Amino acid sequence: MKIRSPIVSVLGHVDHGKTTLLDNIRGTAIAHKEAGGITQHIGATEIPIKVIEEICKGLLEKYSIQRIIPGLLFIDTPGHEAFTTLRKRGGSLADLAILIVDINEGFKPQTYEALNILKMYKTPFVVAANKIDKIRGWKAHKNSSFLETFEKQVPKVQQSLETKIYELVGSLHEEGFNAERFDRVTDFTSQVSIVPISALTGEGIPELLTLLIGLAQQYLKDQLTIESDSPAKGTILEVKEEKGLGTTLDAIIYDGVLKQNDKIVLLTLEDVVVTRIRSLLKPKPLEEIRESKTEFKRVKEVVAASGVKIVAPGVKDVIPGSPLRVAKDENLEDIRNEIRKELEEVKIETDKAGIVIKADTLGSLEAVIKLLKEETDVPIRVADIGDVSQRDVIEAEVSKNTDEIYGVILAFNVKILPSAKTILEESGVKVFSNNVIYKLIEDYVDWMKEIKERRKKSLMESIIRPVKIRILPGFVFRSSKPAITGIEVLAGKLKPGYNLIREDGNVVGTVGSIQDKGKNIKSAKKGQKVAISIKGGIIGRNIEEGDILYSDIPEKDYKILSKQLKNELTADEQETLEEIVKIKRKVDPTYGTGYSLS
C-alpha cells in the first residue's frame, strides 16, 4: 500500500486567472529544479513535496504539516469542462479543487457553474481570491506569503482587501457555504478557506499550496491510499490524433499500475471496447524535446496518480470521460459489464414524453441531468453523448405532441449535425445550446415559465371567473329586450358573455355590452359603477332593483379554478367563488364535489 499524490483541478470564470495560476505553480517549480524539479505528465503536472517545501518557505513547519503525500498532481486543463470529464463512478476524479475568483470582480456565471459542480460531486475546495495585485495602491512582493505581503500594505489597502474578502464570504453564504479567510478558519471540515493570491506575482501561493497539502493529509488519507501493484483504474481525458501515432488516449490513472501490453476496457457511444496497449508515452522535459524534436518518451509502466498517453488499436470511438480498467482473461466479462452498467446509469432512453439532452462527455451529461432534476420536475426522454442528430429531433418532436415544453433539446458543448438542421425548423422543436450548464438550464426554465404563464393567461381568459354585482336602484334604463341597468361590481371582473344567476341559483340572463360614460368597455372590475345590457333579463320580473347577482360558473370551469388557477384568484374572487358554489349546490348538490379551494 502507498499514498499517491492528490489530483487537483482548477476551476473558475473565464479570465479570472486559472491558466496563470497553473503557469505560476509550474514555472516556480521549474525554477526550483535543483530541489527535484517537476514531472510533466500527459494532461497533468506533478509538483513533488520537496519543491512544495521550497515554495512554501517554512509554512509546512509553521502549521505542523507532516509530509505524508509525495506531492500534488495538477490537472493541466483548467475549467469545469475538464473537471466533469474527469469523473469516476460516484464522484469526481479530482480529490481537491481550487475555485479561482477575481477578487475585484467577484462571482461571475462560470463561478456559479463551478460551484454547482463542486457541490454536486462533493469535492473539497479552497477559494483562491486572485488579482490582489490589481487592488488600488497594492505594493507587490514577488512570491511572498500572503500574510507577509499583507502586513506591508498601508491600512487603506488592507481595508480594501478585507471588504472584497467579505463580499466573497457573502456570495459563498448565499450558495450555502460557510467561508472565511484561511487564517481565520476554525474548522476546515465545515468552513471554506479563502486564500488571497496573485497568480501573476506569486503572492499567497505558498499558503495556497500549504493549505492543499494540509487538507489532503488531514481528510483524504484513506482515498489516497492505493495498491501500487494492482491493475490500473483511470479516466480518459481526451481522444486525439497524434502525427505518426494515430488515435491516442490521454488518461489520468488514479489507482494501481498500468503496463505496456495490458488489456484495457473502455467505453464508446455504442458499447464497450477491449484493446491492448501498444505503447505508453510520457512527455519529455522541455530541453529534451528541443534536442530530439520528439515530444514523447516510451515507458514500460505508470503508477497512480499519473497522466499518460496510450497508443492502442480500435480506440477512435472512445468517449472522453470513459472509465479505463485493466482486465485479465478471468475477469474480463465482469469488468465489461461493470463499465457497460456505468454508461447505462447515466444514459436515459425511454418511451415516455420528455425532453432530449445531449452533452459532450459522460461527466457533463451526468451534471446536466443532475442539475436539471434539482431545478425542475421535467421528465427526460433521451439523455446521451454526442452531437444533436436527426433522430434526436424526431424524439423531441414525438414529445412535443404531448406537451410543447417537452419538445426541446438541451445541447451542452455539442454541435447540431447538418441532417438535424434540415428538419429542425419544420419540426417546431426548440434547441437550447450553451457551454455553461447552469445557464443552459436557466434559459430552458425561463422559457418554460413564459410558456406556462402564457397558457395560464389564455386559460384565465377562456373561463368564467367569479363575479358579484349589485343592480343599482334608480338606474334602470330599460326593463327588457335587453334589460339595461346601472350596476356596481362588488367582486371580480365582469365581462360580456357571462351568464348571471340570482342568490337562489336561477339564471336571469347573459351580459351583453358594458358601458362607462357612454363608451363600450371590455370589462368592469371591483368598485366600478357601469351600465350593462342583460339579454333575457326582465327588470321587475326575474331581476329586482338592489338584487345581488353572480357569474354562473360551469362545473368544468370551477374544476380548473380550484385545481390549476387557485393562486391566481384575488381574495374577493375566492370568497365570491365559495358563495357561488353554495348557490349552485342549492340546484345541484353534486356540483364541484371532489374539488376544493382549500
The cell numbers describing 503, all together, are 342568490
Distance CA 434, CA 423 (A): 21
**C-alpha dihedral sign at 249, 250, 254, 256:** positive
Q: Which helix (H) or strand (E) holds 462?
A: helix 437-462
Four-residue CA torsion sign, 207, 213, 216, 217: negative
95 is in an annotated binding site: no
Of 470, 461, 464, the C-alpha closest to 552 is: 464
Q: How many CB atoms lie within 10 A of CB 189?
A: 8
Active site residues: 80
Q: Is 78 annotated as a binding residue?
A: yes
361 marked as binding residue: no
Cell of 229: 501493484
Q: Tell whether residue 131 is among the known ligand binding residues.
A: yes
Pairing of strands 279-283, 306-311: antiparallel
- State CA 158 to chain mean position distance: 35
Residue 314 marked ligand-binding:
no
- Is 132 among the annotated ligand-binding positions? yes
CA angle, 550 as apex, 546 and 552 as ends, to 5°?
Answer: 145
Cell readout for 586 is: 342549492
Read off the amino acid at residue 258: L
Q: Is 337 annotated in some ligand binding site? A: no
Rounded to the nearest 10 degrees, what angle do helices 332-346 and 362-375 cross at?
40
- Residue 18 is labelled as binding a ligand: yes
73 and 8 Cβ atoms separated by less than 8 Å? yes
Q: Is 229 annotated as a binding residue?
A: no
Q: Is 542 annotated as a binding residue?
A: no
Sign of the torsion formed by the C-alpha atoms of 90, 91, 93 and 95: negative
16 annotated as ligand-binding: yes
Do the annotations mark residue 12 as ligand-binding? yes
DSSP code string of 519-565: EEES-EETT-EEEEEEET--BTTTB-TT-EEEE---HHHHHHHHHTS
588 Cβ contact list (under 8 Å, min separation 6): none
Closest by CA position to 184, among listed 147, 209, 217: 147
- In sequence order, what are the residues at sequence separation of 6 or more whose Cβ sits closer than 8 angstroms to the Cβ of residue 187? none
Is 141 marked within a binding site? no
Contacts of 130 (CB under 8 A, 6+ apart): 16, 17, 20, 21, 100, 101, 102, 103, 197, 198, 199
Q: Give a three-class secondary structure readout of 115-177.
A: HHHHHHHCCCEEEEEECHHHCCCCCCCCCCCHHHHHHCCCHHHHHHHHHHHHHHHHHHHHCCC
Binding residues for GTP: 12-19, 76-80, 130-133
User: Which segments are annotated as binding site?
Assistant: 12-19, 76-80, 130-133
